[in-house]
Structure 1
Amino acid sequence: MYKIYRLLSGFALAAMVTSAQAQNLGNSPFSASGLGDINESTGSVRSFGMGNVGVGTPASAYINSSNPALLYYNNRVTFELGLGGQAKVLSDEVGKQRDADGSLNYLALAVPLSKRWSTAVGLRPYSTINYEYISEGTVTGDQTTKTRNTYTGNGNLSEVFFGHGFRIAKRLNLGVSASYLFGVVEREAGSQLINEADASLSAEQLVINQRTNYNGFQFKGALAYRQPLKNKWNLNLGTVYTVGNDLNTKQRTVQERRLSNDLVLGQNYLGDSIKTTSRLPQGIQFGLSVDNGQSLVIGADFSAQKWSEFRSGVSPSNLADTYRVAVGAEFIPNPVSVNSYFQRVGYRAGFGVGKTPLELNGKQVNDISLHWGFTLPIGGSPRPPEYTQSLLNLGFALGRRGNGESNALKENYFRIQLGFSINSNWFIKPKID
């Protein structure tokens, strides 16, 4: 039992560190609208390496938080930690910009409470906002005076989730999950007049600063079914429904006059501690897979969410409904091999394509990505009495976002995830002869 207390203490400390570090994956104008870039990788690094396939792919060695009904298969205490990083190239008809960053990605702990019930708690990013861009023009009727508009935003929403997976009938599981979302986002929009003949017009800019605090709950319900087939194969089906809900939103808006060195000349509060709500949309996910119970899994997922229903206060979202289709596979040559380490290595690959909530020039932005990954066992095969198993998980993705127009904004990215999984039967009592 001491081990559990020690791990939970470490989990709490790591969770505080993760919460203190805002996830920052580089400048992305695609995160300027709504709640920003929504985290699609809600499963483990295993799921990420398979194209973020996870709604219908059970696994006992990993915490599958994509579908809480699949937590039932975590029959050992499992702890996971994940790190994430990204490098990207933004380009349009004007030029290119390169950026890169990374952070702690997620923490999770799953515990079997009985033969028919397992639970998990974890912390992961829900969305990320990080953008900075500039637009320039001229004043109507005065070609000598230019305008420079700057737009910046940064912040994130984090998610603490608490999920349960139950066996309610033969081969049928029920899952429920409650998440607490919280975070702070700060946005600025600045405007400046620039006139080479009159330096006074270039010295001052008008800035609107908006700071928004979010907090609230989100709930999910899920089902999973496993049907044995011929020759030791199995068919798995899963579905998850995300309930639409409101987030408490508190905004402070300040109008400032600044010099070019950011010295504030004056402030005017346009609104302080104004309380509203932001509407999170409902969503649905479906997944299926086939596996031989040991070495091969092939799966596919479909997800859709009505982001057109998103509202911040009474303002319309100008976002579009999203969908995503993904396929992926995992192969382990011989999971119980004692003669060859590489026979116990897991190999994964996947592909995903979908529509994001953002529109550019009236066209919805696409997101296409190719995934692959590996699991590297640490140490030997699990042995009694604790059957401890440690795994190093690696996942990679190459992707592109854009609306299909050659001269519009595009983002090419390379993402990597590094995770550690620890499994152990800590509740088995040793037998004494």
Structure 2
Amino acid sequence: MHLAKPTTAALKRTIGIISSIFISSMAIAQENSPYSRYGIGDITPNQNMLNRGMGGISAGYADFQSINLVNPAALGNLRSTVFDLGANIDIRNLKSNTSPDKFKSVNTLISYLQVGFPIASEKFQKKGNYWGVSFGLRPVTRINYKVERNERLANIDSLNTIYEGNGGITQANISTGIKIKNFSFGASTGYSFGSKDYSTKLNFINDSLIYYKSNTATQTQFGGVFLNLGAQYEIKTKNRGLLRLGAYANLKQNLSGERDNIAETFAYDGNGGTYSIDTVSSVLGAKGKLNIPATYGAGFTFNNDHWTWGADVEMTGWDDYRYYGQKDAVQNTFTVRAGAQYFPAKVNTPYSKYWSFVKYRAGFYYGNDYIKLDDKNRAAYGFTFGAGLPLTKLQRNSYEYYRDGDVVLNTGVEIGARGNKESQSLREGIIRFSVGVSMNARWFMKPKYD
């Protein structure tokens, strides 16, 4: 297989196009998940596509040509400029434990847009030290649901209730990681911003009486600074092996909010939209806090010439979550992740053997869902599979990375679920197809001449 090597100009044009797509996707992405009503909504996977293929292991993972979105300490390993974009298609299947009802939704979402590059001076590198930075944008949570309920009431023919919500949290981030000998440490900071809007519409239907339709809505805008920390330590073993230990902490966030509460009567117009008839009550601009708890994780990876495998554990204290001082239907979580990657190519493998240069990945995760609607713990688990498909002429320089200038398409499939049959709440199954494009080039490094 012969693929042309991309030029720097082509990569820059691609970045401009994909950046526009990212902004558009954030505006048009649609889904329907009733569980996003609780807490801060559906939490999107926070790993890059490479790590997702291995069950999401990230604490102890680092390489020369990818951006670790979970542990900023890994940025100390960057050797070239990296542009990384990820997107996924989610297929959700909801099933009731108390009735045969089923519901299916499909949505597409850009997962992240990141750029990273090394900034260490040549003098700093000669001492065995490295320094990298990255910046980008990614959605952290999504709130998007619309549930309609019809029921019969005494003395009224029927009641139609529509529960609707949208919003979520997005983060703009800047991160840095420094590697000094075998030890790396890093930090990521930036701004978390978003909204949490939900409403309940009531429509009483009677053959002889006409009732006003009512709407109770709450709209909250919030934002604030976040800080994540990370560290990694490398231990070289026999037979070209490398053990990397890692840990990270996402510190507690206290986002400032401004909330509007409105109760009104309304009517539908000829186009299916709504307009207000009368405002029953209105409280605008109420100040408050959205308290998001801290997350702690630790793990390891082990690399040799052809294999990478590892495991992570992660815990989040959701009991500390508050929305304007109020608790919600959430609980503390503990998750275990494990996965592996196989890279068949050897240093002298010719690029004509394309499939030897594909990186094959698999993994799993298991834990409990952070939403708790009854006394039963809701499990959250899944199996992941993925592959790193090089899109340029191939050459292997070491067991960790391709040649500088390569473009890699990271693909993945996640088959997961949350909920259990003992619970009275819904069970949700998910199939997530993920794809990421990682491009490498020495844009910010001085050329050397003999």
Distance 1:364 1:271, change over 3 A: farther
In 2, the alpha carbon distance for the partners of 1:346 and 1:383 equals: 12
The alignment status of 1:158 with 2:170, answered yes or no, reads: yes
The Cα shift of 1:209 comes to 1.5
Q: Does the 8 Å CA contact 2:142/2:169 hold for their aligned counterparts? A: yes
Q: Which amino acid aligns with 1:67?
A: N
TM-score (norm 2): 0.87
Distance 1:208 1:144, change over 3 A: closer
The alignment status of 1:99 with 2:73, answered yes or no, reads: no
The Cα shift of 1:353 comes to 1.2
Distance 1:12 1:216, change over 3 A: farther
* Equivalent residues in 2 for 1:320-339, closer than 5 Å: 320-334=331-345, 336=347, 337-338=349-350, 339=352
Q: Which amino acid aligns with 1:296?
A: W
| Other-structure match for 2:143 | 129
The alignment status of 1:392 with 2:409, answered yes or no, reads: yes
* Equivalent residues in 2 for 1:371-410, closer than 5 Å: 371-381=384-394, 387-405=404-422, 408-410=425-427
| Other-structure match for 1:43 | 47
| 1:250-305 alpha-carbon deviations (Å, 9 max, x no partner) | 1112112123553432224521122211111111011111111x421011111111
The Cα shift of 1:403 comes to 3.6
The alignment status of 1:341 with 2:354, answered yes or no, reads: yes
Q: Identity across aligned pairs (percent)?
A: 25
| Other-structure match for 1:54 | 58
| Other-structure match for 2:234 | 226
In 1, the alpha carbon distance for the partners of 2:354 and 2:13 equals: 33
The alignment status of 1:120 with 2:124, answered yes or no, reads: no
In 1, the alpha carbon distance for the partners of 2:369 and 2:167 equals: 19
In 2, the alpha carbon distance for the partners of 1:318 and 1:110 equals: 38
The Cα shift of 1:315 comes to 1.6
The alignment status of 1:352 with 2:365, answered yes or no, reads: yes
In 2, the alpha carbon distance for the partners of 1:217 and 1:14 equals: 26
Q: Which amino acid aligns with 1:234?
A: L
The alignment status of 1:33 with 2:46, answered yes or no, reads: no
Q: Does the 8 Å CA contact 1:123/1:158 hold for their aligned counterparts? A: yes
Q: Which runs of 5+ in 1 are unaligned?
A: none
Q: Does the 8 Å CA contact 1:359/1:403 hold for their aligned counterparts? A: no
The Cα shift of 1:102 comes to 0.2
Q: Does the 8 Å CA contact 2:378/2:423 hold for their aligned counterparts? A: no
Structure 1 counterpart SS, 2:378: strand
Structure 2 counterpart SS, 1:302: strand
* Equivalent residues in 2 for 1:25-424, closer than 5 Å: 26-39=31-44, 41-92=45-96, 93-114=99-120, 115=125, 116-139=130-153, 142=154, 144-168=156-180, 170-195=181-206, 197-201=207-211, 204-259=212-267, 262-292=274-304, 294-334=305-345, 336=347, 337-338=349-350, 339-381=352-394, 387-405=404-422, 408-424=425-441
Distance 1:5 1:424, change over 3 A: closer
Structure 2 counterpart SS, 1:363: coil
In 1, the alpha carbon distance for the partners of 2:58 and 2:65 equals: 14
Deviates more, 1:325-334 or 1:313-322: 313-322
How large is the Cα RMSD of the aligned pairs? 2.4
Q: Whose strand fraction is larger, Structure 1's or Structure 2's?
A: 1
Q: Which runs of 5+ in 2 are unaligned?
A: 1-6, 398-402
Q: Which amino acid aligns with 1:429?
A: P
In 2, the alpha carbon distance for the partners of 1:220 and 1:56 equals: 15
In 1, the alpha carbon distance for the partners of 2:77 and 2:216 equals: 51
In 1, the alpha carbon distance for the partners of 2:56 and 2:29 equals: 20
| Other-structure match for 1:429 | 447
In 2, the alpha carbon distance for the partners of 1:34 and 1:8 equals: 39
Deviates more, 1:367-376 or 1:5-14: 5-14
Structure 2 counterpart SS, 1:63: coil
Q: Does the 8 Å CA contact 2:214/2:265 hold for their aligned counterparts? A: yes
